[in-house]
Chain A
Amino acid sequence: MKLDKTGPLEYSTQQNQMNILGFWIFLGAEIMLFGTLFASYFTLENGVGNGPTGAEIFEIAPVIWETIILLTSSFTIGLAVHAMRINRKNATLTFLAITLVLGLAFLGIEIYEFTHYYHVGATLQTSAFTAILLTTLGTHGAHVTFGLFWGAFIFLQIKKRGFTPETTNKSFIFSLYWHFLDVVWIFIFSFIYLKGLM
C-alpha cells in the first residue's frame, strides 16, 4: 500500500481518499433524504385535522437544551479530529467520549420530548402533522442513535490499535457524519420549532 506522507493520516492511502469522497456523496444522498422529509413536513404542516398544532405542543426549553448540547458535541468532535491530527491519542479519546456522552444526553431529552407529545395527545396516528413531525424528528434521532454505536466502536478501535490509516480514516468520516447531523438539527430547530412557535 502506498502511503502519502504529506497530508494527514486519514488521507494517506488511495482507499482512504475514496472512502472520504464516497462518504461525502453519501451525505449528498442524506441531504435528499432529509430534504424529502422537510418538503413533506411543509406540505403537511397545516394538516392538523382534529389534533393539536405545533404552537400548542412545542416546548422551547428542552429544544434549546437539545440544540446547545448537540452544537457543543459538534465542537468536541472537531476537537477530537484536531487532537488526532497532532497525534494525541488520549485527547482524541477524551473528546470522542465527551461527544458520545453529549449525544446520549441529546437522545435522552428527545425521548423525554416524545413522551411529552404522547401525553398531550400528539401521537403518530393523531394527524398528518404529528405523523410527519415525529417521523422527521425520529429519523434524525435514529441517525444519532446509530452514530452513538458507531462512535463507540471507533473509540474501542483507536484505544486498541492506536492511530493507523484505517482508524484515523474512520474517525474523520464519523466526524463528518456527526457534523452533518448537527446541520440537519439546525434546520429542524429553525424550520420546525421556531417557525412552529411563531
Chain B
Amino acid sequence: MEFFERFAIPHPSPLIYASMVGIGLTVIAIVIGLTYFKKWGYLWREWLTTVDHKRIGLMYIISAILMLFRGGVDGIMMRLQTAVPDNTFLDAQHYNEVFTTHGIVMIIFMAMAFIIGMMNFVVPLQIGARDVAFPRLNAISFWLYFAGAMLFNISFVIGGSPDAGWTNYFPLAGTDFSQSVGVNYYMWALQISGLGTLMTGINFIVTILKMRAPGMTLMKMPMFTWSALITNVIIVFAFPVLTIALLMGTFDRQFGTHFFASTNGGMDMLWANLFWVWGHPEVYILILPAFGVYSEVIATFSSRNLYGYKSMVGSMVLISFMSFLVWVHHFFTMGHGPLVNGIFSVTTMAIAVPTGIKIFNWLLTMWKGKIRFTVPMLYSIGFIPLFTIGGVTGVMLAIASADYQYHNTMFLVAHFHNVIIPGVVFAMLAGLTYWWPKMFGFMLNERIGKWGFWFLSIGFCLAFFPMYITGLDGQARRMFTYSAETGFGPLNMVSFIGAALMAIAFILIVYNVYYSFRYAPRNVGQDPWDARSLEWATHNPVPEYNFAVTPEVNSSQAFWDSKKNNHQLFKEKRSKIHMPNNSGVPVIMAGFFFVFGFSFVFSIWIGVIIAALGIFACMAYRTFENDHGRYISLKEIEETEKKYGGAK
C-alpha cells in the first residue's frame, strides 16, 4: 500500500472527491458508449491515426473548448470565493491551486490549442496546399499536446495540483514551499506539450514557405497566413528557452540541484528571467494569429480589401522582433536599477506603436465599407475598443516607476484579461463562427450567436473593469480572501456577476452548436459569407484533398478576384492526387510520453525507463518504415466533385 500513498491528494475537499467521481463516471460512459455503438474502429481509423490537417485542426479545437470549460470553472470558483469578504468556499491552498491551473489551462491548453487548431485548419487551405509539410509530425504535435493536457488535468485528483501560480516563481515553486508533486506535473505537462508546439512551429514555417500555390508570393498571402508564419517563427525561437527552464526546474525539484535556490550559488531570479524570455513572446504567439483572424473577418464583412496590407505585415514583423526585448517589465520591482528598468520601459511602450498601426488599419478598412453585422464581425468590432483599453492600461503598467503601485495587484489582472479575452478569445469565437461552414458545411445560428456575443461582452466588462479600481486601491492578486473593512466587497460581487454572465455566454455558444447542428440548412454553398481569400475557393465542408486542382493566384484575395475580376483560379486538368498514409505511431508515442511524464512526476524510475524505451522504439520504427503515401484516383476525385455539385 505504501506505493499507492504517493498518489493521495494532499489537500482533499468534497469538491475534489466529487470531481474524481465525475471523471471516473465520464470515462466509463465514454468506454461503454464507444463499445455499445461499435465506434472503436471508426475512432481509430478516422481520428486517432489521422494525419489530415483538417481533422487534426478540429481535434485541437475540440480539446481547446473542453479546456476552456475546465479553465472557466476554475475562474468562476475564484470569482465566487472573492465575491464577498471573508468567504470560506475555498481555503487558501485550494485557491492557490485553482488560480495556478486556471492560468496554465487557459494559456497553454486552451488559447494555444485553439490558435494552433485554427492554423491547422485554415493555413493549408489559404495557401492552396494539400496538407502541411510534415503531416505525420503534425499528428505527433497534436498528440503530444493532448498527452500534456491530460497529464496536467489529472493532477488535481492524483497527487495534487501545482500551486505556485502559472508563472511558477522559485523559490515558491521549490520543494521547500511546494511540497506536493503538483509543480512536477507543471514541469512535465508543459515540457511535453511544449515539444509538440515546437514541432508545429517548424512544420508551419516550412509549409508556408514551400507549399504556396503558384503565383502566391509572400506579399500575396492572406493576412491570417502571414500572422501564422510570424507566430511560428516566434514559437521556434521562444519555446527552447522554456524547455531549458523547465529542465532546470525539474532538476531543482527532483534531483536536488540549486539553480533557482538562494543557497550554494543559485539565483532565484534566473527562473523569472528565463520564464519571461519565453513568456512574453508567448503572449504575442497568442495575439498575432488573433490579429490575423480579425484582418480576414473585417475585410470580408466590410466588403473591402484590407487597408494597409504592407504596414500590417511590417508591424507584425516588428512586434515579433520586439516581443523578445521587453521581458523585464514583468518584474520591474525586482530591483535591477533605473537604467535597466528605463530601457525595458521604453521598449514596452514602443511595442504599442506597431499595435496602434494595426488598429488604425482595421478602422480604415471599415471606413466607407458596407459593413454587415454578422457574429464574427460583432466580435471584431467589440475587440477594437476593448482591446485598446487593455493596450492603454498596458502602457500604464510599462511606466516602471508607476508600476511599483500596480505591481501584483488586481489592476494587472484586469489588464491582461482585457487584452487576452477581447484579443484572443473573441478572435477564436469570431474565427470559429466564420470558418464553421468550411469545417462542417452548415452555418451557426446568427441570433443565438449574437446573444452569446452580448452576454460575453457585457459579462467581460462587468467582470474585469471593477478590478482596475480595486487594484489601484490596493487589492493584491492571488489573495484568497479579504476583510470587509477594505471595502473591496461590492466591486468583487460585480466581478462575480460578470463572470456568471460570461458563463451563460459560453453555455449559449455551445447550445448554438447543438441547435445549428439540428436545424441549420445543409446547402450553404461554397461561399456563404461573400468572402475574399483562397480557402473559400473549395467546397464546404472541405474534401479530403482540399482542392481538386491546385489553384493559381495573383493577389492576396484570389477568390474575390475570381468572383469579380474574371481571374481564373483553376487552369490545370484534374489528375490523381498524392496523399500521406494514416499512422498509429503518433498516438502510441504520445501515450508513451504520457507514461514517461506521469512516472517522472512521481519518481517511478522503472516507468520512466520503460516509457523512454517505448518512445525511442517508435522513432526507430519510423526511420526504418518505408511509407510512400497513396494516391487518390481520378475516378474517386470526379465522384467526390460530382457529389458537391461539381462546377469547379
Contact = CB atoms under 8 A, between A and B. Distances in A.
A25 B205 CA distance: 8
B251 A129 contact: no
Contacts of B248: 40, 132, 135
A34 to B, nearest CB: 8
Interface string B249-262: 00100011111010
Interface residues of B, number: 43
Contacts of B144: none
A92 interface: no
Given A25-B205, A33-B243, A131-B251, A18 B265 contact: no
Nearest to B206: A22
B565 interface: no
A21 interface: yes
A172 to B, nearest CB: 14
Given A29-B237, A150-B623, A36 B245 contact: yes
A187 interface: no
B616 interface: yes
A126 B264 contact: yes
Contacts of A14: 210
B141 to A, nearest CB: 13
B210 A47 contact: no
A128 interface: yes
Interface in B156-215: 198, 201-203, 205-206, 209-211
A124 B247 CA distance: 13
B142 interface: no
Contacts of A22: 133-134, 202-203, 205-206
Contacts of A87: none
Contacts, number: 121
Interface in A155-192: 156-157, 170
A153 B206 contact: no
A113 interface: no
Contact of B240 (A33, A46, A49): A33
B274 interface: yes
B134 A18 contact: yes
A128 B244 CA distance: 15
A25 B261 CA distance: 34
B210 A21 contact: yes
* Among B247, B255, B259, residue most surrounded by chain A Cβ atoms (within 10 Å): B259
B274 A40 contact: yes
A125 B133 contact: no
Interface residues of A, number: 42
A129 B36 CA distance: 59
A25 B236 contact: yes
A32 B235 CA distance: 11
A49 B198 CA distance: 35
* Among B263, B266, B267, residue most surrounded by chain A Cβ atoms (within 10 Å): B266
B310 to A, nearest CB: 25
A126 B256 CA distance: 9
Nearest to A15: B133
A156 B258 CA distance: 43
Contacts of B274: 36, 40
A127 interface: yes
Given A18-B210, A29-B236, A44 B265 contact: yes
Contacts of A126: 264
A61 interface: no
B350 interface: no
A128 B237 contact: no
A128 B265 contact: yes
A128 B202 contact: no
Interface string A1-25: 1000000000000100111011001
Interface residues of A: mostly helix, strand, loop or mixed?
Answer: helix
B258 A32 contact: no
A33 B244 contact: yes
Contact of B265 (A46, A124, A135, A150): A46
A167 to B, nearest CB: 10
Contacts of B623: 150, 153-154, 157, 170
B206 A129 contact: no
B578 interface: yes
Given A44-B267, A49-B264, A28 B210 contact: no
A26 interface: yes
A47 B265 contact: yes
Contacts of A17: 210
A51 interface: yes
A43 B236 CA distance: 23
* Among B203, B258, B616, B628, residue most surrounded by chain A Cβ atoms (within 10 Å): B258
A35 B264 CA distance: 24
A127 B252 CA distance: 11
B241 interface: yes
A149 interface: yes
B30 interface: no
Interface string B532-553: 0000000000000000000000
Given A25-B202, A125-B256, A32 B241 contact: yes
B140 to A, nearest CB: 13
B42 interface: no
B630 to A, nearest CB: 12
* Among B201, B236, B241, B265, residue most surrounded by chain A Cβ atoms (within 10 Å): B265
B4 interface: no
Contacts of A44: 259, 265-267, 270
A48 interface: yes
Nearest to A31: B240
* Among A30, A131, A156, residue most surrounded by chain B Cβ atoms (within 10 Å): A131
A129 B255 CA distance: 15
A118 to B, nearest CB: 14
B239 interface: yes
A131 B259 contact: yes
A137 interface: no
A131 B252 CA distance: 10
B624 interface: yes
Given A22-B134, A28-B237, A149-B616, A125 B265 contact: no
Contacts of B266: 44, 47, 128
A40 B133 contact: no
Interface string A98-116: 0000000000000000000
14 contacts: A21-B210, A25-B236, A30-B240, A33-B240, A33-B241, A33-B243, A49-B263, A49-B264, A50-B264, A126-B264, A128-B257, A128-B259, A131-B259, A153-B620
Pairs A-B, 3 closest by C-beta atoms: A47-B265, A49-B264, A128-B265
Given A40-B244, A47-B264, A47-B265, 20 more contacts: A17-B210, A21-B206, A25-B205, A25-B236, A28-B236, A29-B239, A37-B244, A44-B259, A44-B267, A47-B258, A47-B266, A48-B265, A49-B264, A50-B264, A124-B256, A128-B257, A128-B258, A128-B265, A132-B248, A154-B623
Interface of B: 133-134, 198, 201-203, 205-206, 209-211, 236-241, 243-245, 247-248, 251, 255-259, 261, 263-267, 270, 274, 277, 578, 616, 620, 623-624, 628
